[in-house]
């Protein structure tokens, strides 16, 4: 689906079904330098299990125009402009990594409009190693390779894909490599700079689900403790064994089922 927002062409995936803003709307937000295809399996699953689905390519990412905003709160404000443009009143939000911070910030800004929240691969603070950030600034391919090495559990590196023959690490590398120059750096920078996580968490009033990878090196389960304690609503967490940061491809069916329950 194509949407004109503030004069910028935005793309959003709807899971193969017509998007209905009056339905049970679920929005899935992707991580740094990725796009809607990160949720290829989960999006279609939710769209065919009672949800009116929206998986936007965030500004400057994927098939969407524009630039990555200057901060996580700015990205959250962009999301509300998109939902207002589509006539959505109530929504369930889910986000992965950078998308998790965006979902958190968006839910804090408009808590009365968020029915459910789900954070995947979230950590707070989401500090980024200085050398990694500098490599991303230079558009050095080592940043993409390092990111995807850290992002996958060992099982994913040894042929653990649900689909026979799929190389999960290679697919994730190619996904990030498709991003425009500078996109990874801008995304990592706004994650690194986001410092309102605990304050935003305290404003959340809806039930919140958390899906975590036991072997996530980028956002290990312990990195969510303070945020979970600060959340104002009911919290439910699920830690997936032998799973890293890229849980949507590492555990596609399980993540889809958990999203359905938590949203």
Burial 175-192 (b: 16+ CB within 10 A, else e): bbeebeeebbbbbbbbbb
Total number of domains constituting the chain? 1
Residues 220-237, mean pLDDT to the nearest whole number: 94
Give the model confidence (pLDDT) of 33-60 as tens digits: 999 999 999 999 999 999 999 999 999 9
pLDDT (0 to 100) of residue 165: 81
Question: Residue 238 pairs with which residues in a beta bridge?
Answer: 211
Domain that holds residue 23: 2-262
Domain of 241, CATH number, reads 3.40.50.1820
Q: Is the peptide bond before 125 cis (omega within 30 degrees of 0)?
A: yes
User: Can you give the pTM of this predicted structure?
Assistant: 0.97
pLDDT (0 to 100) of residue 207: 97
Residues 209-215, mean pLDDT to the nearest whole number: 98
Question: Residue 92 pairs with which residues in a beta bridge?
Answer: 26, 116
Give the model confidence (pLDDT) of 176-208 as tens digits: 999 999 999 999 999 999 999 999 999 999 999
Residue 237 pLDDT > 80, yes or no?
Answer: yes
Task: Give the three-class secondary structure for 213.
Answer: strand
Distance between CA atoms of residues 204 and 90, nearest Å: 14
Distance between CA atoms of residues 111 and 187, nearest Å: 24
pLDDT confidence bin for 163, thresholds 50/70/90: confident
Closest CA to 123 of 258, 252, 237, 241: 237
Residue 169 pLDDT > 80, yes or no?
Answer: yes
The full DSSP string for 128-191 is --HHHHHHHHTT-HHHHHHHHHHHS-HHHHTT--SSTT--HHHHHHHHHHTSPTTHHHHHHHHH
pLDDT (0 to 100) of residue 106: 98
Burial 51-77 (b: 16+ CB within 10 A, else e): bbbbbbbbbbbbebebebbebbbebbb
pLDDT confidence bin for 160, thresholds 50/70/90: confident
């Amino acid at each position: 689906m194509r949407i004109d927002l503030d004069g910028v062409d935005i793309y959003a995936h709807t899971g193969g079904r017509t998007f209905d803003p009056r339905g049970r709307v679920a929005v899935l937000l992707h991580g740094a330098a990725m796009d809607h295809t990160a949720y290829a399996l989960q999006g279609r699953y939710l769209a065919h299990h009672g949800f009116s689905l929206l998986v936007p390519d965030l500004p400057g990412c994927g098939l969407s125009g524009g630039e990555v905003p200057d901060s996580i709160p700015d990205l959250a404000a962009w999301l509300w402009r998109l939902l207002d443009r589509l006539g959505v009143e109530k929504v369930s939000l889910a986000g992965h990594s950078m998308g998790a911070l965006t979902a958190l910030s968006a839910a804090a800004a408009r808590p009365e409009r968020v029915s459910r929240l789900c954070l995947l691969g979230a950590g707070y603070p989401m500090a980024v190693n200085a050398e990694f950030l500098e490599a991303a600034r230079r558009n050095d391919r080592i940043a993409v390779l390092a990111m995807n090495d850290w992002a996958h559990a060992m099982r994913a590196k040894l042929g653990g894909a649900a689909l026979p023959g799929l190389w999960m690490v290679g697919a994730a590398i190619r996904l990030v490599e498709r991003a425009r120059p500078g996109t990874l750096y801008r995304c990592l920078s706004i994650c690194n700079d986001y410092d309102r996580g605990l304050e935003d968490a305290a404003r959340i009033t809806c039930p919140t689900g958390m899906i975590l990878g036991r072997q996530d090196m980028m956002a290990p389960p312990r990195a969510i403790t303070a945020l979970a304690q600060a959340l104002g609503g009911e919290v439910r967490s699920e830690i997936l064994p032998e799973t890293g940061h890229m849980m949507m491809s590492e555990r596609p069916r399980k993540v889809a089922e958990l999203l359905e329950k938590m949203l």
